[in-house]
Structure 1
Amino acid sequence: MAFACQKNSYLQELTTRVVSCTPAELKQVVNGKKQTLQGYEVITEDTVLFPEGGGQPDDRGTMNGIDVLRITRRGADAVLFVEKAIEAGTEVVQKVDWTRRFDHMQQHSAQHLITAVAEAKYGWPTTSWDLGKEKSFIEMDTPKIQAEHMQELEREVNEAIRKQLAMTPRLVDLGSAVLNCVRTRGLPEDHVGQVRIVEIETIEANTCCGTHVANLSHLQSIKLLGAEKGKKNKTNLYFLAGDRLLNYLGKCLANEKLLTGFLKCGPEGHPQAAEKIQKSLKVANKSTTTLLRDLAALEAYRYNNQANKDPVFVLHRKEGDLEFLNMVANEINLQNCLALLTAGDEKGVGLFLVAGPDDIIKEVGPQIAECLEGRGACKNGRYQGKANKLSKRSTAEETLHQYIPRLPTC
């Protein structure tokens, strides 16, 4: 059985009927955080919403105005997850998020075309592929792809697009001799019914359950972005197609405009201007490091030569960093004193370093981190890390003063 979305990938709306609705939960990651949603798994007589398969992510859309958050395939059924129950027998109208669907159609169809041409021309079999959110890649069974081969491959796939070749799905019976003549990576273990084949006119035929364009001209254009070393002596070939390529080009042009303003030169001069700035920055960083080292030595000298110095040395530098704080600590005799060194926003986020005898620092370091609402780590008599409340430095200093009696005497 083929779903409505597989019979006509351009269909954006379908009226169908609910077969079953059962309580379920959906585990997903939102903004990097795992969450579990309580809802229902709905099976309908047919679906215009594509369940994930063939390397293509599932669709998004609505069913009677209710957001469909996940679509998977279970045997011959598509299972749609929603947060509101819809009773069995209810007539529903499914609507597809067309922007997402058409993007997936373009990237998936482009993958078929690139894979077919690469294997026919260079003998590079495709072992897997990934339809990413921003760019896609095809894993090819070859240890390396030369730049000239990639250019030739890009030229040929775009020539096929200009020929406006048809891309057509069809169904054949399981066990048909036709299946011996098509490219396939095998069928799912729970496959039932006929087998769907997607054919690119004069180029290839391939078993696939995904949604595709009806004509290669709908891909508009394909750009091969580059090749990177993959796993197990394979190569990942990155690409963009259709609207995704146009959006990428738009972002590139916007960045180009910004760089032109920053660098005060046209696009052709950007590389040279950036290289010049990079060299100047290296010189400036070297000079800054030298000055910070001199400043650290001066601060330590002033403290070490005080007649009646406080056993707790406190220093804050807004423009400092951990390297500077460690420079200061290196110049102080930490055998009979404790140091609280901080850098950054005096009232907010910054860095801290507590230094002194190892046994004391191991004990007091975590207390200072907690006081500054930060976190860090201890090593060789130094506890350093990030602080969220440098405004509490005075309290941290008071904590260190409590450990003065434990310092060894000169």
Structure 2
Amino acid sequence: MEKLYEQDAYLRAFDAQVLSCVQGKGGWDVILDRTAFYPEGGGQPYDTGTLGNVKVLQVHTRGEDVVHTCDGPLEPGSRVSGQINWDRRFDLMQNHSGEHIVSGIANAWWGCDNVGFHMGSDFITIDLNTMIDEEQLRQLEEAVNRYLWQDKPVLVTYPTPEELERLDYRSKKALTGQVRIITFPGADVCACCGTHVSSAGQIGLVKLVSVQKFRDGVRIELLCGGRALDYLSRVDIQNKAVSNLLSAKAGETAQGVQRLLEENAALKSRILTMEEQHFAALAHGCAGAGDVVLFEDDLSPDALRRLCDTVLGECQGRCACFSGSDETGYKYAVGQRGGDLRTWVKTLNQTLNGRGGGKPDFVQGSLRAPRADIETFLEM
């Protein structure tokens, strides 16, 4: 089979003869005498497009053959025109080429290997067997983009075994047979079967989005070309929206958010103090009352727990606290010092469409029932 994608990554349309067509699990598996469709491999996803009037859904290798899984059959022996989904192909070319430059420069700087590479539908990930921090990531990103500005041509060569012996190149595994070498002059030399841009400038932009510890090294998330531009545009739109909400300059939104967080923390502290004072007053009013039932508005589960615990110290009986509404349901916290509420709370949940539990003497949960039904159950 003639692999046209290895000869010209920019070839979008071609003619071929159908050698075979059989129905498989995912559709009709078509083998041609020549193809420009890149099959999944080397970390790069497959191409999609059309063959005649059928869609190419997946492309994989099977031995020496490239198998095109289509949504309909093609007649063996017939001639067919193929059309590559160019937007997808060029996106993959940009991101695969960008990965080469990032991995090559990282290898030159830190002597590390690319031990994992995945081209997802959102981010590209590279796994390096070394540790780098955020500042090193920023320096790497700057170096990669400065390399793009030089717009050096990308070279595709097929060295002889003797030439390969003398060549210093990256490869994840031992290779046999004819080896295809992709060279980004001054950045990377790597054995690779994928499709790449013809010059570094066509990548356009590389954005290293994040770095995090992964196994014995790090995992870098990156975006190249159109994906990087789309990502930065979305981030810019979000930052402008935050800027407007904060009445802060676009470059000062972090300070604005920090100010809001500090104000929020102060308000939470003030609310907590007021809640504690209110709970203490309620508990004082329940001193020696025995069993107590309280309905309070707009309490969080934690506040409800604190209220119940405070009242338990005064009431000398069982305390049942509820917060919510007939429309949304009620959260509950129920306690009884030295008591065993397990059977009681099971009956409560079964009767009032509830769920929850806890320790024998203290339980929390929620009910989907009106207040009147809750009060009737407690009166029982």
Q: TM-score, normalised by structure 1?
A: 0.75
Q: What secondary structure does 1:206 align onto? A: strand
In the alignment, structure 1 residue 207 sits paired with structure 2 residue 191: yes
In the alignment, structure 1 residue 339 sits paired with structure 2 residue 320: yes
Contact 1:110 1:241 in 2 (8 A): yes
Contact 1:293 1:324 in 2 (8 A): no
TM-superposed deviation, 1:328: 2.3
TM-superposed deviation, 1:55: 1.8
Structure 2 distance, partners of 1:179, 1:295, is 80
Partner residue, 1:101: 89
Structure 2 distance, partners of 1:313, 1:207, is 74
Letter aligned with residue 148 of structure 2: I
Letter aligned with residue 12 of structure 1: R
Say what the alpha-carbon RMSD is for the aligned residues: 3.6
Partner residue, 1:378: 358
Structure 1 distance, partners of 2:174, 2:329, is 55
Letter aligned with residue 62 of structure 2: R
Aligned length: 370
Structure 1 regions of 5+ residues with no counterpart? Answer: 25-38, 405-410
Partner residue, 1:36: none
Contact 2:28 2:73 in 1 (8 A): no
Q: What secondary structure does 1:237 align onto? A: strand
Partner residue, 1:219: 203
In the alignment, structure 1 residue 126 sits paired with structure 2 residue 111: no
TM-superposed deviation, 1:224: 3.2
Letter aligned with residue 156 of structure 2: P
Partner residue, 1:161: 148
Structure 1 distance, partners of 2:80, 2:231, is 37
TM-superposed deviation, 1:218: 0.3
Partner residue, 1:325: 304
Single out whichever of 103-112 and 135-144 deviates more from structure 2: 135-144
Partner residue, 1:57: 45
Q: 2:181 aligns with which of 197, 206, 212?
A: 197
TM-superposed deviation, 1:259: 2.0
Structure 2 distance, partners of 1:172, 1:2, is 19
C-alpha spacing 1:349/1:96, structure 2 compared with 1 (3 Å): farther
Letter aligned with residue 249 of structure 2: G
Q: What secondary structure does 1:43 align onto? A: strand
Partner residue, 1:29: none
Structure 2 distance, partners of 1:205, 1:160, is 15
TM-superposed deviation, 1:382: 4.2
C-alpha spacing 1:218/1:363, structure 2 compared with 1 (3 Å): same
Letter aligned with residue 324 of structure 1: A
* Equivalence map 1:116-155=2 (5 Å): 116-145=104-133, 147=135, 149-155=136-142
Q: What secondary structure does 2:171 align onto? A: coil
C-alpha spacing 1:62/1:331, structure 2 compared with 1 (3 Å): farther
Contact 2:307 2:321 in 1 (8 A): no
Q: What secondary structure does 2:264 align onto? A: helix
Q: Deviations over 1:204-227 (max 9, x none)?
A: 431212221111110112233453
C-alpha spacing 1:259/1:368, structure 2 compared with 1 (3 Å): farther
Contact 1:303 1:313 in 2 (8 A): no
TM-superposed deviation, 1:172: 6.0
Q: TM-score, normalised by structure 2?
A: 0.80
Partner residue, 1:239: 222
Q: 1:264 aligns with which of 227, 247, 270?
A: 247
Partner residue, 2:173: 186
Partner residue, 1:315: 295
C-alpha spacing 1:346/1:160, structure 2 compared with 1 (3 Å): same
Contact 2:21 2:74 in 1 (8 A): yes
TM-superposed deviation, 1:70: 3.9
Contact 1:361 1:381 in 2 (8 A): no
Structure 2 regions of 5+ residues with no counterpart? Answer: none
Partner residue, 1:114: 102
Contact 2:345 2:357 in 1 (8 A): no
